[in-house]
Structure 1
């Protein structure tokens, strides 16, 4: 597995830096590699969750055997007419085997629920013509379905897998290199220097360090495991309850996937699906991401004030000293941000950032052997982290292929319109609910792909801008990581905190409640996505920020002092009115908040 991970990292890094290779061939190699890693690291058996076995090695051989068929016949497949030229028996066998292997890898790495869901979509493609009514489709044969799923760019080797291979992987590799070179410790020290001396310092360090690291890793679970290993025990030592400590880390790590410059893998898929440049998405999402962390930070500050929790006693360094000791970690990040935002070259930017980080590591350690081992470990770790994402994108390609060949996406949009033909709020609530429901046990990329294909078109048809509609889906796909009962980020935090994951997910959802509110805000107020004239943008920022502060205070029960039940009710009403997209509600909310502040000051 180590050789596969290292080889895959080197191959995809070379592609990111400009080396040219056939797209389809590269995707089949990537798919075989992530299947290999998935089969050799996870069994899907709770009694023996990890370990290599003869069946696992057999699946690996089958994956490379099926891939070899496509590599050997790549030229012939490139010249044939998809959906027109007949498939050979070998093509049928190799394609069927590859689909089955992807489903088995999905069962092992993600869970049985998603594998069964995909089987349901495939069964609908095969037998849906026997249904009656609007959801029936024309008869489809096995050969036609396999041709569409495997031999076109609408299925297995479609945009989702391409984004995972050519874009997401390089960012994961950059995060792994930065982590192995001490980047995680640097972000932690920087956060401790910035906020560690304040009340509730450890929790605030968790929020800031998770935001800093999450912008690079883009994965809530990876963020929890990396920064949470330091912050959760630190919070528990200060007096935070284990469940609350885990919830703070889970909520902050989930927000890291919503904050530029990197954000999460779903945003790269969004860029490919919508043809909106990634730089434009990152700039538009920056304000909403910052509002999310403002709300979480205020909630943590309120809890520290209520419980009398003090500063982090380990925050001894100053910001200047931290920067002098680890400023070089910022060099590849600066290069990445510049290439992403100014040149709109995220792939090349991530590849160059990896090269710069590796070069600086070699120079600073002055130990070539140790540096080489660190980089090799980073390459293997990147492959291990990216394998579940690659498998999720592969299985998402199967779902998208099933949806397109049967036009189920259009049928689902029509169903949404039948519930609420002219009511955008109802469609948005249904979309949010469907996305969160899909997110129970499914990774964020797969959730986004399904919701983007099924629900986003209905919102767009009702006049929502494409950027806002898809970012709405991205937010709820990301927030599913902390939404009970199945919350992957909460389960990751629970393993460190030693607390009930359901309790952690419940508290994290309360801390991050703004993450569930912001998508509605920027759909109704596109100015929050920096769309519109400057005055409208400033007004939207001021109103929404006031609403966020009021909601956070109402939920936590503190705003400069402990709040009673009536105070919390009034602030909750004011916050809800301020985030509502209605002029009179904004005025009423502002008046209610101003009146409460005046009375509170007189007290």
Structure 2
């Protein structure tokens, strides 16, 4: 009932019901903490199952957050960092921080828990650190006051985005699942590309893209679409690790594909003040380029390995659309409200209601639809709980960074190492983001990297939109980057293969994603910024670059490539990243050389035949 109540309440808020912000966030936090304790044990030997201890922690979470909800009117009148805190306030605040850390350990892992504990330790003892990283002495009361009783910490922007924006889209994804939307996307993808060479893998790419743009979660995408596509690929001759890698790479792209993208994009809108519709519009081209590269590599591997189509006979596009066209109605309404009306949360709420209404009309079985919606409400709450916990613990880190000014010190350090070397700072930012992403969910990775590293890029002249999208991309790709790649581990459980090998294959298939962020920072036209001719040239050159990289990494360009040809193509792709006409000329020249070389080889084979 907790999950159903939370989903109903968040849906009401999305549709316009008003409530006190802080009280709502504390109630939301208490509920997701309780759900986390009731659904995950944190014990790898017994990942599920309740115990009296878990039940006690869940009850304690609800009681502690209930205290803050009850005290919200009184706390709203005090001056943070000035008015004194009562003993009950201090006990409840410290207890809440400990509960968040334990829930983080259970739902996300020990790595993030240790990282957050390190930041909190820095706040307490950082004044003993020598040099520029020292800060003024802070009392425990000051730290607790800042972390729990202000909007710069636990109930800051990250948790607000999780509650007021992300939750409704997670709920919409769960509703589509329960009503059969996942099967519709899978069938539609099969009808579109299933009869081509490498059909099963292409179905995985297309269906993961269609589902991922709604769910925005690489791991949820893998679990949902991968449960269908990975066994299908294995049955038709794909190696288990490769099948898992295809699904992981395709699912990772869902977090960067408009119109919904992922929760990190909503956080970015809140952090930067840029309208979400503008972010989604700017991200369209680079998301499409990513999927073009993945699709090409999947096709190339299928041709090289002689892997055939998914099926010779099956439903056509018209037949699939006739059966499930109504799934597109709530999605279209949501897209319109998100992009045109710039009302993302309202769009998500309307989409949920519209999906239920359309299901009743099409199935003429209100009881079955009501049961499906009830189950979807529980699913949505369970899926959103780790996101809410991650955003809560990220708020603790952000609060620590702001009270100690560690983010400013880190940016100054980066700028000091390379005062005018933007490429160096970008490489460090990418590395830090991927490192933070080892075992952490995308929203938490984005929050930390956006506060720590993005300001250094902005100080060097990178536009705010490009700098934060750069972080969003690498935060999303951290889901498939070994050694701890959450999407790869999810795929491994389905494929029954080594997760590290799956992660490495996924990274190879997603090679474009590790290059595209550098491209759009250097070429703003890729973000649809600038004159039409500038945008068209940027898209053309980058398309040539990602296809060159894809062909070079897979070793196919109309025929099997020799090592030298692959090297030339990879060099062409990397050269086309640089924003200079000489680099463009050199990269296009190398691509032309590779094409001519391949054509000469083909002509020579025909003569010898």
Q: Same fold (TM over 0.5)?
A: yes
Find the aligned partners of 1:368 and 1:354 in 2 and give their Cα distance: 15
Q: Map of 1:382-397 to 2, 5 A cutoff?
A: 382-397=380-395
> 2:537 matched to which residue of 1?
539
Superimposed CA distance per residue, residues 77-107 of structure 1 (whole angstroms, 9 cap, x where no aligned partner): 0111111100011100111111010000001
Q: Map of 1:485-496 to 2, 5 A cutoff?
A: 485-496=483-494
Find the aligned partners of 1:92 and 1:285 in 2 and give their Cα distance: 44
Find the aligned partners of 1:251 and 1:441 in 2 and give their Cα distance: 16
> 1:408 matched to which residue of 2?
406
Q: Secondary structure at the match of 1:40?
A: helix
Superimposed CA distance per residue, residues 471-503 of structure 1 (whole angstroms, 9 cap, x where no aligned partner): 000000000000011100000000111110000
In the TM superposition, structure 1's runs of 4+ consecutive aligned residues that sit over 6 Å from their partners are none
Q: Normalising by structure 2, what TM-score? A: 0.98
User: How big is the shift at 1:315?
Assistant: 5.4
Query: Any gaps of 5 or more consecutive residues in structure 2?
Result: 604-609
Superimposed CA distance per residue, residues 104-158 of structure 1 (whole angstroms, 9 cap, x where no aligned partner): 0001001111111111111111111122210111111111111100110000001
Superimposed CA distance per residue, residues 9-66 of structure 1 (whole angstroms, 9 cap, x where no aligned partner): 0000000001111111111111011001100111112232211111111111211121
Find the aligned partners of 2:285 and 2:313 in 1 and give their Cα distance: 29
> 2:192 matched to which residue of 1?
194
> 2:606 matched to which residue of 1?
none
> 1:38 matched to which residue of 2?
36
Q: Which one of 317, 331, 345 corresponds to residue 329 of structure 2?
A: 331
Find the aligned partners of 1:60 and 1:189 in 2 and give their Cα distance: 40
Find the aligned partners of 1:596 and 1:88 in 2 and give their Cα distance: 73
Residues 38 and 54, structure 2, Cα contact 8 Å, conserved in 1: yes
> 1:286 matched to which residue of 2?
284
Query: Any gaps of 5 or more consecutive residues in structure 1?
Result: none
Q: Is residue 374 of structure 2 the alignment partner of residue 376 of structure 1?
A: yes
Q: Map of 1:208-227 to 2, 5 A cutoff?
A: 208-227=206-225
Residues 171 and 216, structure 1, Cα contact 8 Å, conserved in 2: yes
Residues 61 and 99, structure 2, Cα contact 8 Å, conserved in 1: yes
User: How big is the shift at 1:314?
Assistant: 6.6
Find the aligned partners of 2:46 and 2:195 in 1 and give their Cα distance: 45
> 2:92 matched to which residue of 1?
94
Residues 196 and 315, structure 1, Cα contact 8 Å, conserved in 2: no
Q: Secondary structure at the match of 1:257?
A: helix
> 1:525 matched to which residue of 2?
523
Q: Secondary structure at the match of 1:5?
A: helix
Find the aligned partners of 1:545 and 1:353 in 2 and give their Cα distance: 34
Q: Which one of 24, 30, 39 corresponds to residue 22 of structure 2?
A: 24
Q: Secondary structure at the match of 2:45?
A: coil
Q: Secondary structure at the match of 1:7?
A: helix
> 2:57 matched to which residue of 1?
59
Q: Secondary structure at the match of 2:76?
A: helix
Superimposed CA distance per residue, residues 527-573 of structure 1 (whole angstroms, 9 cap, x where no aligned partner): 00001110000000110101111110000000100101111111111
User: How big is the shift at 1:596?
Assistant: 2.6
Find the aligned partners of 1:141 and 1:575 in 2 and give their Cα distance: 54
Residues 192 and 315, structure 1, Cα contact 8 Å, conserved in 2: no
> 1:253 matched to which residue of 2?
251
Q: Please provide the CA RMSD for this pair.
A: 0.9
Find the aligned partners of 2:520 and 2:170 in 1 and give their Cα distance: 29
Q: Secondary structure at the match of 1:137?
A: coil
Residues 439 and 481, structure 1, Cα contact 8 Å, conserved in 2: yes
> 1:265 matched to which residue of 2?
263
Q: Which one of 107, 110, 119 corresponds to residue 109 of structure 1?
A: 107
Residues 193 and 315, structure 1, Cα contact 8 Å, conserved in 2: no
Q: Normalising by structure 1, what TM-score? A: 0.99
User: How big is the shift at 1:460?
Assistant: 0.2
Superimposed CA distance per residue, residues 423-461 of structure 1 (whole angstroms, 9 cap, x where no aligned partner): 000000000000000000111111100000000000000
